[in-house]
Amino acid sequence: MLTVITTCRLNDVDPKAWLANVLARIADHPVTRLNELLPWQWKRASPATVMLAA
């Protein structure tokens, strides 16, 4: 879990927002597109909602 949180922070992604969104989406997400759920890819999809508070 620490690795996931650190990866989110290194990519300026809010770990709680990312995890909540990914857990809600992963069951219906195509396995061939799982890379879209990685923090740095996920950030590009919705940048306004994922930035860490400064």
Domain ranges of the chain: 2-48
- Can you tell me which residue has the tokens 């396995």? 31
Region of residue 21 (phi > 0: left; psi between -120 and 50: alpha; otherwise: beta): alpha
In this prediction the pTM is 0.78
Query: Residue 36 — very low, low, confident or very high, per pLDDT cuts 50/70/90?
Result: very high
User: How many angstroms separate the CA atoms of 48 and 26, rounded?
Assistant: 21
User: How many angstroms separate the CA atoms of 34 and 53, rounded?
Assistant: 26
Query: Residue 45 — very low, low, confident or very high, per pLDDT cuts 50/70/90?
Result: confident
Closest CA relative to residue 18, chosen from 38, 2, 32, 35: 38
User: How many angstroms separate the CA atoms of 15 and 30, rounded?
Assistant: 22
